[in-house]
Each structure stands twice: as structure tokens, then as C-alpha cells.
Chains A and B, each alone.
Chain A
Amino acid sequence: MGVTERLAGFAAGRPRAFVVAAPGGTAARVAVEAVLRRRAWRQPDGPVAADLLVVCGAPGTDLAEAIDVVWDDMPAPRARTMISGTPTPDEAAAALDEATDGRHGGHGGGHEGGHGHETSAPAEPDMADRAADRDGLTLDVLHVRLGPVLADWPAGLRVATSIQGDVIQSAEAAVLGGASARPFWDAPWLAAAAGEPVTRGAAERSRAAAHLDSLGRLLSVAGWADAARRAERLRDEALAGRAAGALVPAFSAFARRVGRSRSLRWMTSGLGVIDERAVRRYDLAGPAARHPGDVAARLTGWLTEAEHALARVDDADPLAGGEGPRGPAREAPSAGLLAVLPELLEGSELAAARLIVASLDPDADQLSRSAAAGEEAADG
């Protein structure tokens, strides 16, 4: 066994897994993230820093192409795997192990030798255009696509922007298709609407977990990794069925720290302001409509609603009503969140844009059916 193999074997104990979710892949993503966290496998900032690509859900053609481009960017030794459906923690863990074993065999699994790996992308990108920016200066215009493969980013979302410096001049948002599964976070309400017996507690559990999932990603984008991990932990504990008596105190400590953080409020206030007019115009529902205002207001809104939901996770009454985590579960409220994005993003800086998107967190599971239908219509 050579030195290189030994080093690779030692490093392989904790691979860095870059997780990409396709619309409809939320169940798989949540299961995979729980395993990664339990094993202390880090989720790197970008694919180049990763050696394992985990695709959650079944991406449609466009998203699959985007994922292939990202895969080509990843340096060897590397491995990729696809996990879809609703895997148990053991199944998710087994799939990750299988992928990494393939890599460390050294022969299959995409272990490519050689140095100076050159991507197949065109050698010379287009030169930047020039145009006057918001201050009247003539600056280079770059056309940058945010997503669909980006850490802590809504599944399948692609925002085509033109930026000058790091200020977005124009933006168009779309969700690339995936599998049309039942939206993970809305499942209790949709099941109840279909006549299945669902308790109110189960639904509140889903609501709290959905908000904690959104909070975790917002905190991660805000550059506060430790708080993001705490949100993820709480999300996983809520989904694992822990009692309210254990969840509420742990959540309160987390909510105090995040809610009282002055620097977080300093960095999120005044960004992406949604007023009453925008609520009506884009037909917004759910927390985004109940807590109008900036990113900070939406963050506080999630904290408040998650706390209320967690207190009721043991409620055994049958579920009544259809108000899911993002609004009426049967009306795909994420369509409104997607529609309001361009208006909020134009004129904001890249960092602010990431926070705005994370603070709305449109659920692609809700949109994948219509997006898939739209793609087919466009193809035909």
C-alpha cells in the first residue's frame, strides 16, 4: 500500500458531502443531512471542496444537466450517489457508505488519476458587457446564474441575474423540474384532506420542522454555522418524534440566542422588504404574509411560529384546517414566494440576495408538479 493510498484511506474516514436536492427530494435530503450531522461529515461550501456528491430526489432533465456540470467540476478522488423516495436513516447511511466504498476501491467509482484536470467548459468565457450601474458608473455586466446547485439553496431554483460588481441589476427566477412526489412538509395536511387519519400533533411537528429547516438554511447563509447546526438538530429531533417537554426548552434556548443576536438583526434588517401591497399583489400566504417586513421580520416570524407549533406536537386531536408551513397546503403557496423574488432581488447585493431567498425559502416540492408540466409543454 503506497503513501497516497494510505493518506486517501485516512482522509476517507470523514468525506465532505455536497448535498443537492431536486424538487420532490426533501424527504431524502432531510434524512441524508441527519446522517451527515450524526457522523460529523462536513457539508462544504461548494462542490469543489467536496469529495462526495449526494443527489437527493429524482432531478428532471435540466437539473440533471446542471448537476453533471457540477460533477465535472469536482476534483478526484470523488464519488456520487443518488437517494430518492423516503429513506430511513439506515437506508440513507447505507447509500452514503456504498458510494464512498466505491471511491476508495480506487478502480471504479470515478477515481481518475492524473493532475491538472481541465474542465470541458469552453476555454474562453464571453467578455463582460458594459452598462451604467445604479450610481451612473459604467461597469462590467456579468450574467451569473444563482443555482440550481448551491449550498443552502431551495431545490431546483435557478435565478438568472445580471450583476455589476456584486449588485444585481435584473433577476428572473424559475424552478427546474423534479419528481412530482407529495410535498414533504405539507404531507400531514394533504393526507388529512385525502381522508387519512392525521393528528394535529403530527401536523404541528411537520410545521415546526419545516420552519427549523428554513431557519437552519437562513442561518447558514448568514454565516452562522453553529446556530444553523442547532436548528438542524432541533429539526431532526422534532421529526424523530421527541416529546414537547424535551423539544420546547431546547428550542427556547436556541430561539433566545438567535432572536436576541444584535449582529444578526443588524445584518438582516431592511433587506427584502415585503409590504402589504406586495402581499396582495403576489397573493402571498403563510408566514411571509403574516410577518410582513424585512428578512429579520420573517426570521422572527419563523421563530415564533415554530415555538407555538412545538408546544402542540403531542396533540392527539384529529387535524382540522389546511394551513401548512408556507400557507394553505393545497394551494402551493410557494408560487407566490417565487413570484415576488425578482422584485426583491433587483438592486440588492449578492449577499443580500442570498439572505432574501433564504428568508422566503420557496418549497420546490410544491412547485415541481407545475414546473414538470411546464417543461413538457415547452418541449412539445
Chain B
Amino acid sequence: MGDGTPFWTVIALPVALAAFAYGAAAFDAVLRAAAAGRHELAQAAAEPLRETARLLVQQRRTTPAPDRLLVRVGVISLPVAALLAGVVVPLGDRAVVDMPVGVVWFNAMEVIAWGSLWLTGWGVNSAYALVGGYRFVAQGLAYELPHMFALITAAVGAGSLDLSKVAAAQHGLWFAVWMPVAFAIYLISALAMAFWGPLGHPLGRDLAGGVAVELSGPDRLIFFAGRYGLVAVAAAAAVPLFLGGGAGPVLPAWAWSPVKTCVVLAALVWAGRRLPVLRMDRFMEFAWVALIPAALLQALVVAIVVVN
């Protein structure tokens, strides 16, 4: 933690992350209710609260011969990954830790989710959960490279791996505008990283819930809180990476960041309900044949412009 970082940011980060995660869950519940023909705002927005209460008093289910340690580590590491990734994301102009290699740190922390899903899927000793784990490993192979190239493109554009500097480098022209391919790939890979919506096959309904099939009570609560945390932190990181950080008219930086985060988060949640789930046996080909070359071309164009 640098000298310039006041202590309150350490408190503010988990609070902000929890608020965004709750907002994502509530918005998702509103959309779900609307699809079922009920246009109710208050009831649906309280749904995540209700679910939390339900899971808090629910018994913890134990499968025959599970590897308890692996499951606990897998479940708990999911919100921890979201929180650690959030440490370097500036809210306004201030991150909890101003790290010179923030982009790399953010990416490294996201990858913890691979371990989380695999450990949980393997550890509960259930065929469906295991298949869900396989699916996420395959998904990781499909999305991680395009995701890294998208992050690197933004870093190249700014000439820095520090997220605050990346945000500051976008004076007047957001990276989302002049590197749209990288931005689009970032959003797709954000969905994949948080196994959300069309990229939620590891938790597929066809597997009765996949990795999460045997989770109940507090385990389930922590796991899904972590997943919403991942969606939230992915949306929050899009702001300094591609949307100019806290820059904007009238409002101060500390207000613009959350506003932009909310917009990205809402878009991700909304997009998550618009499409059927994408299977990796088909998506993998698209990722390697289309997404990776597109990401590389985008990186090349940005690099040439920056060098000139």
C-alpha cells in the first residue's frame, strides 16, 4: 500500500464490490421476473436478499466421500479472487494498491477462478460437478488468450501496466473508441471469466447446475457471491481499461467510475440473458480462429500507432 493510499479505501473496496455484486444479482432477478411475465421491481430487487437468508439457514449438504478441503478452498477462493483482482482497480482516481504492474496482477487474480471451479467440481465427488469442472478448463483455454491480448492492447496503448496510468492516458479519446475490437473481446472474456450467461456452461442447467450441483447452504452462498463479485470486478476494470476511468463532465472522478461501472455491469447482466449457452466444443474453434487473430491484429494496429 503506497503512502498516497488512505486507509478508507481498504474498507471501501469490499463494500463497493458487495454493492455492485448485489446490484448485478438484483438486476438479474428483475429481468428474470420480467421474462416470466411479472413486472415487479421491489420484490425482484429483494430476491438476492431472500436467497441470502435462505442459504444462511440451510443445512450444508455433504456428498459421499468428498474432498472437503478442496471444496472449501475452491468455494472460498472465488470471492477472494474477485476481491484481490479489485485491489488494483481504481475507483475514481484511487486504487487500494497503486501497482506498477496492475494489469498483470488483475489478470493473475482472475485466473484463481480456474482453480476455484476445478477444485469445487472435482472435490464434491459427483459426476455432474466433475463434468462442469472439465467444461471450465476448456472454457479457460478458449477465452484466456484473447482476454490477455485485449488487456495487453490497452496497456500498449497507454505505455503502462498501471491501471491508473492506463485510465489517465485516455484523455479525450477512450480506448473503447479507438480499439473497439479489444474492448469487445474484453467484454466477451469477462462473461467467460465469470462463467456468466451464454458462457455459463460449467454451471449449466443440462448438468443440474454443473460445478454448483451439490453446493448448499453457506457454501452455495459464498460461491455465488464470488461469482457476482467476479462479474462486478470485470465490469469495474473495464472502466479504467477502456472507458477513460473517472474522466467525465460535471461529476467528479469518484462519481464517474461507479456510474460507468454500473452501465457496463448492467450491459453484461442483460447480455447474459439474451443468448443461449455456448458450448466449448463449438466456441473453442471460434475463439482460436476468430477471436485470437482479431485480438492480435488489434494489438498490432495499436502498437504501430503508438510507435509512430
Contact = CB atoms under 8 A, between A and B. Distances in A.
A351 B204 contact: yes
Contacts of A4: 57
A351 B53 contact: no
A219 interface: yes
B171 interface: no
B205 A351 contact: no
Contacts of B9: none
B36 interface: yes
A5 B277 CA distance: 38
B125 A76 contact: no
Interface in A335-379: 349-352, 354-355
B162 to A, nearest CB: 37
Interface size class of A (residues with CB under 8 A): 35 or more
A14 B213 contact: no
B37 A351 contact: no
B62 A116 contact: yes
A119 B216 CA distance: 14
A229 B275 CA distance: 13
B3 interface: no
B59 A150 contact: no
Contacts of A226: 31-32, 35, 273-274
B64 A151 contact: no
Interface in B228-253: none
Interface stretch (B42-50, B69-77, B254-262, B293-301): B42-50
Contacts of B274: 226
Nearest to B208: A46
B289 interface: no
A224 B276 contact: yes
Contacts of A165: 131, 134
Most central of B49, B200, B213, B275 by chain A CB within 10 Å: B275
B61 A48 contact: yes
Most central of B40, B61, B62, B274 by chain A CB within 10 Å: B61
Contact of A166 (B65, B134, B203): B134
B32 A11 contact: no
Given A125-B125, A267-B278, A225 B273 contact: yes
Contacts of B127: 142, 144, 163
A230 B35 contact: yes
A308 interface: no
Nearest to A269: B282
A136 interface: no
B206 A48 contact: no
A257 B200 CA distance: 21
A75 B216 contact: yes
B209 interface: yes
Contacts of A150: 208
Given A125-B65, A350-B207, A351-B206, A8 B57 contact: yes
B64 A37 contact: no
Interface string A196-208: 0000000000000
Contact of A40 (B40, B61, B210): B40
Given A76-B58, A219-B276, A48 B216 contact: yes
A124 interface: yes
Contacts of A76: 58-59
B94 to A, nearest CB: 36
A221 B151 CA distance: 33
30 contacts: A8-B54, A14-B50, A16-B54, A37-B36, A44-B209, A45-B210, A47-B208, A48-B61, A49-B212, A49-B216, A75-B58, A75-B59, A75-B61, A76-B58, A77-B58, A114-B59, A119-B62, A121-B64, A124-B65, A142-B127, A222-B277, A223-B198, A224-B276, A225-B35, A225-B205, A227-B276, A229-B37, A267-B282, A350-B206, A350-B207
Given A44-B209, A45-B203, 6 more contacts: A7-B54, A48-B216, A119-B61, A264-B276, A267-B282, A352-B281
Q: What are the 5 tightest A-B residue pairs by CB atom distance, in nearest-first order? A: A223-B277, A11-B54, A46-B208, A45-B209, A224-B276
